[in-house]
Amino acid sequence: MFESAIATALTLAALAAAPLAMSTATASATTTMPFQIPRVWGINIYGLCEPACVDYPVAVVGETDGVVTFPAPRPFAVPGAYAVHWKNISTGAAGTSAIDTFHPAVARTGPGVVTATVTTGDSLEYLSARGIFLVP
């Protein structure tokens, strides 16, 4: 059990450090980064996804310092269905933004390491999308 806790802690630390180690973006370069964990959800018997559907959200940083843009996940963009919950773990700032199919969520997170979760609140959602990003 203790080894399992250590393995979990090391995995979380590696996930948190990966975007920082791989980031080569400068403040003037716009970078689109995929969430490390996609959103997985089910569908009813008339749907097209068997056994599950997958959304691939992204975060866009570098357009403006301290700002992250979250466009609607593809390929299943649903009008008004998404919410982004974010937290800047460098500063403690946090918030929630709605994603519209035609208008991305814009989060003024401030610079630092930002974690984000994309959810729908739908009962068919198996796993919400999660990501961690370095915001210039």
Instruction: Write the CB contacts of 108 (distance below 8 Å, at least 6 apart in sequence).
Output: 66, 67
Report the pLDDT value the prediction gives residue 77, as an integer from 0 to 100: 61
Cα distance between residue 113 and residue 13, in whole Å: 13
How far is the C-alpha of 16 from the C-alpha of 106, rounded, in Å?
A: 22
Q: Are 96 and 87 in contact (CB under 8 A)?
A: no
pLDDT of residue 76: 64
Residue 48's pLDDT band (boundaries 50, 70, 90)?
Answer: low
| pLDDT at 80 (0 to 100) | 61
Walk across the sheet containing 129-135 and list its strands: 94-99, 82-88, 112-119, 129-135
